[in-house]
Amino acid sequence: MGKLYVVRHGETNFNVQGRYAGSTDVDLNEMGKNQARIMAASFKDKPIDIIITSSMKRALTTTNIIREYLVKPIVVLDEFVERKLGVYEGLTRDEVSKKFPKLWNENVLKQFDNTLHKGESVKQVRERVQKGLSYIKNNYRNQNVLLVTHGYISREIFGYFNKVSEDEFDKYILNNCQVAEYYLY
């Protein structure tokens, strides 16, 4: 039975500024690169068979740093790119609440409909992530997989493997370059 190691990419300037990045393709800052080096070194002696990564810059940069320590094949899967946040992208929570008060008060990001914020719905993301996880289980079930992805996507993966309540789902946070482990069965 294999293991899935889920890693959130290193820090970006958007993370520091509290901005919604979503599909905005920002790269790591220097702190993020240092975080990735420290995290990557911890995998040096782990039996990883393959690295799967999101195609976004922040994940790819993290992956390339990991490969300095762990030379393994890489597969890029768009199923694990960050959620598209539409009109919220590039804005802080405060800026969203002022610019889109009705959307903010209705908490539209938690809804299963994307028509209001013009991004990707929870349902769309969940289906996409589950498709990616099925791919991993079908192709790498007995291997150890290192997956480099994003904050919201890591939450979806957490929910998938743990069958948690909506409240537990909302509270789950995987910090930059933090690792979560799951069994692939």
Number of H helices, E strands in the chain: 8, 5
Query: Among residues 82, 89, 120, 156, which one is catalytic?
Result: 82
Those residues with Cβ within 8 angstroms of residue 105's Cβ, 6 or more apart along the chain or in another chain: none
Active-site residue flag, 117: no
- DSSP helix/strand/coil, 56: coil
Decide: 5 and 145 in contact? Cβ < 8 Å: yes
* Displacement of CA 40 from its chain's centroid (Å): 17
Taking each helix axis from N to C terminus, what angle separates 122-140 and 151-162, rounded to the nearest 10 degrees?
Answer: 70
Would you call 82 a catalytic residue per the annotation? yes
Cβ atoms of residues 176 and 9 within 8 Å: yes
169 with 100: CB under 8 angstroms? no
Which positions are annotated as active-site residues? Answer: 9, 82
